[in-house]
């Protein structure tokens, strides 16, 4: 019975992420267009909302090309290993007072740990493509994602120290409004590191379309390509939800359904901010990217952790 419920929740998470990705693509096109003084999609339905329904069958029916040279079984299934961990990470996000789909006692670590399995999927798909561009993209992605995990985890750790718990719902119960100014540096570090973690601009060197075609998913087409895109938008949605909850207070601002609405609006603001950043800043160079992580973000996160630790002593 528990197993069946787990299966049902897994399916719900996949639908949530897939639906979110489809809406995210449309929203990103609108945001990007406004930033560049264009209108974006507007032919199908009001403000082009039906465009997202048109996009899905297009991706479903495109030819599924598997290169002759590729390691075929791994090439076919590696995208799933990129997508699944991200769908799993949504499970521990606290949506409602005292409720998360999977309210684990170690949920905070779970959230940080599982998306890192996705790096393996990226490396495997890059390797199995048997293509130089994909290999370079995959290696960049691995270096970047493993490195940015460090400041990201340290930033979340400062909230964990303040709350004194690894359980997301308990962290939310302990949350106070003055944690926002106190952990502001941590939130900024978390936000930047999350953008790097999801391989988005200005940190999208692993995909860098001007030099690497599309990096680790250069050889993918049709629905397998769409799984990578769903993974990317899924990471965006999941990181925004988690950041809005543990750093910005999520549902704690208002009681009941209004709280849930505030939480979702906060997450949507974060999602839009990530898109805004992507379409505003130029891409970094690979060495600048790594230097930024180790010499700026990591020390900042450690300072934030020390500050949080000192304050936690007085709580």
Partner 1 sequence: MSANDLALAVTVTVMVAGAAGTVLTSDVPRLVISLGTFLLGVAAAFLVMGSPLLAVSQVFVYVGGVLVLVLFALMMVRRSGDEKPKVATRHDLGAAVIALGVFVLLAAVLGPVAADPTPVVTAPNEVGAILLGPSLVAFELVGVLLLAALLAVLVIVKGGEDS
Tokens of 12: 């719900």
Determine the length of the chain: 315
Task: Compute φ and ψ for 96, nearest 5 degrees.
Answer: -140, 155
User: 177 or 294, CB closer to partner 1?
Assistant: 294
Rule CB under 8 A: say whether 106 interacts with partner 1: yes
CB atoms within 10 A of CB 90: 25
| Residues in 258-277 at the binding interface with partner 1, rule: CB under 8 A | none
d(CA 261, CA 252): 11
Work out how close the CB of 288 gets to partner 1 at its nearest, in angstroms, rounded to a whole number: 20
Rule CB under 8 A: say whether 124 interacts with partner 1: yes
Q: Which residue in the set 32, 33, 143, 290 belongs to the binding site for partner 1 (CB under 8 A)?
A: 143
In the chain, what is the straight-line distance between the N-terminal and C-terminal CA atoms, in Å?
A: 42
Rule CB under 8 A: say whether 166 interacts with partner 1: yes
Task: Tell me which stretch binds partner 1 (CB under 8 A): 127-135, 201-209, 217-225, 245-253.
Answer: 127-135
Work out how close the CB of 193 gets to partner 1 at its nearest, in angstroms, rounded to a whole number: 14
User: 149 or 207, CB closer to partner 1?
Assistant: 149
Rule CB under 8 A: say whether 149 interacts with partner 1: yes
Rule CB under 8 A: say whether 109 interacts with partner 1: yes
Rule CB under 8 A: say whether 120 interacts with partner 1: yes
Residues in contact with partner 1, counted by CB under 8 A, come to a total of 32
d(CA 202, CA 129): 25
d(CA 186, CA 309): 13
Q: Which residue in the set 164, 256, 299, 309 belongs to the binding site for partner 1 (CB under 8 A)?
A: 164
Greatest Cα-to-Cα distance within the chain, rounded to the nearest angstrom = 63
Rule CB under 8 A: say whether 288 interacts with partner 1: no
Question: Is 96 strand, coil or helix?
Answer: strand
Q: Which residue in the set 64, 105, 177, 209 belongs to the binding site for partner 1 (CB under 8 A)?
A: 105
User: 50 or 117, CB closer to partner 1?
Assistant: 117
Q: Which residue in the set 29, 52, 94, 128 belongs to the binding site for partner 1 (CB under 8 A)?
A: 128
Q: In three state form, how does the secondary structure of 18-72 look?
A: HHHHHHHHHHHHHHHHHHCCCCCCCCCCHHHCCHHHHHHHHHHHCCCCCCCCCCH
d(CA 27, CA 33): 10
Rule CB under 8 A: say whether 91 interacts with partner 1: no
Question: Contact 152/189 with Cβ under 8 angstroms?
Answer: yes
Q: Which residue in the set 84, 86, 112, 163 belongs to the binding site for partner 1 (CB under 8 A)?
A: 112
Rule CB under 8 A: say whether 291 interacts with partner 1: no
d(CA 220, CA 77): 11
Question: Contact 226/24 with Cβ under 8 angstroms?
Answer: no
Q: Exposed, middle or buried by CB within 10 Å (0-12, 13-18, 19+), for 116? A: middle
Work out how close the CB of 78 gets to partner 1 at its nearest, in angstroms, rounded to a whole number: 9
Radius of gyration of the chain (CA): 20
Q: Which residue in the set 26, 27, 95, 127 belongs to the binding site for partner 1 (CB under 8 A)?
A: 127
Rule CB under 8 A: say whether 110 interacts with partner 1: yes
User: 143 or 273, CB closer to partner 1?
Assistant: 143
Q: Which residue in the set 12, 56, 113, 312 belongs to the binding site for partner 1 (CB under 8 A)?
A: 113
Task: Compute φ and ψ for 182, nearest 5 degrees.
Answer: -65, -40
Residues at the contact surface with partner 1, assessed by CB under 8 A: 69, 71, 74, 104-106, 109-110, 112-114, 116-117, 119-120, 123-124, 126-128, 130, 135, 138-139, 142-143, 145-146, 149, 164-166
């Amino acid at each position: 019975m528990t197993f069946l419920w787990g299966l049902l929740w897994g399916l719900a998470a996949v639908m949530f992420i897939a639906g979110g990705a489809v809406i995210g693509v449309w929203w990103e096109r609108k945001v990007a267009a406004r930033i560049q003084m264009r209108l974006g999609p507007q032919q199908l339905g009001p403000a082009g909302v039906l465009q997202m329904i048109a996009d899905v069958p297009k991706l479903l029916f495109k030819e599924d090309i598997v290169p002759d040279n590729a390691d075929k079984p791994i090439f076919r299934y590696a995208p799933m290993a990129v997508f699944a961990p991200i769908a799993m990470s949504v499970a521990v996000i606290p949506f409602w007072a005292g409720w998360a789909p999977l309210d684990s006692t170690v949920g905070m670590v779970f959230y940080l740990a599982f998306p890192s399995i996705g790096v393996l999927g990226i490396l495997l798909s890059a390797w199995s493509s048997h293509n130089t561009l994909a290999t370079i993209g995959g290696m960049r992605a691995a270096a970047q994602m493993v490195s940015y995990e460090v400041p990201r985890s340290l930033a979340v750790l400062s909230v964990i120290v303040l709350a004194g718990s690894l359980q997301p719902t308990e962290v939310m119960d302990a949350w106070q409004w003055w944690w926002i100014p106190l952990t502001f540096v941590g939130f900024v570090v978390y936000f930047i590191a999350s953008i790097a973690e999801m391989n988005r601009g200005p940190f999208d060197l692993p995909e860098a379309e001007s030099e690497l075609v599309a990096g680790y998913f250069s050889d993918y087409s049709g629905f397998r390509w769409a799984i990578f895109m769903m993974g990317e938008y899924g990471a965006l949605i999941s990181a925004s939800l988690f950041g809005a909850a543990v750093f910005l207070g999520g549902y704690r601002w208002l009681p009941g359904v209004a709280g849930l609405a505030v939480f979702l609006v906060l997450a949507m603001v974060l999602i839009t901010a990530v898109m805004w950043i992507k379409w505003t800043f130029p891409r970094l160079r690979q060495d600048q990217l790594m230097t930024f992580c180790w010499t700026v973000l990591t020390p900042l996160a450690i300072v934030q952790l020390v500050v949080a630790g000192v304050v936690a002593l007085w709580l």
